[in-house]
């Protein structure tokens, strides 16, 4: 671990020039004292590095000195080729280390376009109302994919109604809309599993078959099946006060099939969104009471009225009972 850190320190100095010890400690996630010890270790190994105290000081390498050590570790190569740049990805640290090495190996005069690209382009995979999901077993699944190992996992079905244990060959991992999916081959074909529903993972000694199908082709087929299944939603047009729009969209998010369309109308906004099914729309919107005014479809409006009457009949009128 220290050897990797020393190389990272060296590449940071080679890429950025003079840097302060606190900045280096933050980037490498160690204490300032550790950074100073690492600088001494580099100096003892013959690296021309020195420390300047006072305002404008810092740690720097001798001008024009470069190292030809630019080889990637296995983890860095995996992270770089898999595009593991998103926050929360277990490979994020290895990806950053690989990028530092690439920058260090680039001549100084050609680094600025890369620096600008890194600071001016930001990719946020989730939508505005998407929730941050936990993927506690993502690192284990990545290791299974990289090492071509068969896995046994415990999986929670949609709705948390039951769990099952499955043994499968992992074809690969796909990140879509901030959600990770495992594509796996089971006895009856290829299946799609949401990583945030994986409850436990065991890497087995068996290696996966050599004749597994290509991930891209399997993913395209499975995605098409999911999209065909999700086309029969319930489009709903509704109005809500501007201040309540955010609450409505947060509550409804899990039951929507598409990105809602929001149009301002004075102190109200009109929202058009497709719910998974009419019962899902009823459950969400009835709970909001008079906060939301449903305009279409007429079927949903009639269903809300009928359900409200049924509720009133069951519980009675509290005002009438008091009289």
Between 81 and 11, residue with greater pLDDT? 11
Whether residue 244 lies inside any domain: the answer is yes
Whether residue 131 lies inside any domain: the answer is no
Whether residue 242 lies inside any domain: the answer is yes
89-143 pLDDT, tens per residue? Answer: 676 777 677 677 766 666 666 667 766 766 676 666 665 555 556 678 888 998 8
Same-domain pairing of 144 and 192: yes
Whether residue 323 lies inside any domain: the answer is no
Query: CATH number, domain at 47?
Result: 1.10.10.10
Model pLDDT, residue 82 = 61
Same-domain pairing of 266 and 170: no
Report the relative pairing of strands 198-207 and 189-194 from DSSP bridges: unpaired
202-231 pLDDT, tens per residue? Answer: 999 998 877 888 898 999 999 888 777 655
Same-domain pairing of 39 and 100: yes
Whether residue 127 lies inside any domain: the answer is no
Tell me which of 120, 147, 182 is where a domain ends: 120
23-65 pLDDT, tens per residue? Answer: 999 988 899 999 998 888 888 777 888 888 777 789 988 887 7
181 and 192 Cβ atoms separated by less than 8 Å: yes
Same-domain pairing of 159 and 201: yes
pTM above 0.75, yes or no: no
For residues 13-19, average pLDDT: 83
Nearest one of 135, 136, 198 to 170, comparing CA atoms: 198
Model pLDDT, residue 13 = 86
β-strand partners of 239: 270, 293
119-128 pLDDT, tens per residue? Answer: 676 666 665 5
Query: CATH number, domain at 255?
Result: 3.30.70
For residues 243-265, average pLDDT: 86
Whether residue 108 lies inside any domain: the answer is yes
Same-domain pairing of 261 and 292: yes
Tell me which of 229, 245, 277 is where a domain ends: 229
Same-domain pairing of 146 and 209: yes
Same-domain pairing of 68 and 168: no
Model pLDDT, residue 241 = 92
Same-domain pairing of 24 and 83: yes
Domain count, the chain: 3
For residues 15-21, average pLDDT: 86
Same-domain pairing of 90 and 192: no
Model pLDDT, residue 71 = 61
Same-domain pairing of 24 and 108: yes
Tell me which of 173, 194, 229 is where a domain ends: 229
Same-domain pairing of 158 and 220: yes
99 and 16 Cβ atoms separated by less than 8 Å: no
- Domain range for 174 is 138-229
142-185 pLDDT, tens per residue? Answer: 889 888 999 999 998 765 567 889 999 999 998 887 788 999 99
Between 146 and 295, residue with greater pLDDT? 295
Residue 184 makes CB contacts below 8 A (sequence gap 6+) with 151, 166, 168, 169, 170, 171, 190, 191, 193
Model pLDDT, residue 287 = 86
Mean pLDDT score of the chain, rounded to an integer?
Answer: 81
């Amino acid at each position: 671990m220290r050897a990797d850190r020393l190389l990272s320190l060296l590449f940071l100095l080679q890429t950025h020039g003079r840097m302060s010890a606190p900045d280096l400690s933050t980037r490498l996630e160690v204490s300032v004292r550790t950074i100073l010890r690492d600088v001494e270790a580099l100096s003892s190994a013959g690296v021309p590095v020195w420390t300047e105290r006072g305002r404008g000081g810092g740690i720097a390498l001798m001008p024009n000195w470069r190292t030809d050590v630019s080889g990637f570790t296995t983890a860095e190569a995996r992270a770089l080729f898999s595009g593991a740049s998103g926050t929360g990805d277990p490979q994020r640290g290895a990806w950053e280390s690989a990028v530092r090495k690439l920058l260090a190996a680039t001549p100084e005069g050609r680094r600025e376009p890369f620096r600008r690209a890194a600071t001016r382009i930001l990719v946020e995979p989730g939508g505005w109302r998407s929730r941050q999901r936990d993927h506690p077993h993502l690192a284990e699944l990545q290791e299974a994919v990289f090492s071509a190992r068969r896995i046994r996992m415990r999986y929670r079905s949609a709705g948390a109604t039951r769990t099952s244990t499955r043994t499968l060959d992992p074809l690969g991992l796909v990140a879509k809309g901030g959600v990770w999916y495992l594509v796996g081959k089971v006895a009856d074909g290829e299946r799609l599993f949401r990583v945030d529903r994986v409850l436990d993972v065991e890497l087995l000694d068996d290696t996966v078959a050599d004749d597994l199908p290509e991930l891209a082709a399997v993913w395209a087929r499975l995605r098409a099946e999911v999209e065909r299944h999700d086309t029969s939603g319930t489009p709903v047009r509704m109005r809500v006060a501007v201040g309540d729009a955010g609450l409505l969209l947060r509550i409804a998010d899990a039951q929507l099939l598409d990105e809602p369309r929001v149009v301002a109308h004075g102190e109200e906004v009109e929202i058009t969104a497709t719910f998974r099914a009419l019962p899902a729309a009823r459950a969400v919107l009835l709970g909001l009471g008079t906060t939301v005014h449903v305009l279409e479809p007429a079927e949903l409006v009639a269903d809300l009225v009928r359900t409200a009457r049924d509720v009133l009949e069951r519980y009675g009128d509290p005002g009438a009972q008091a009289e």
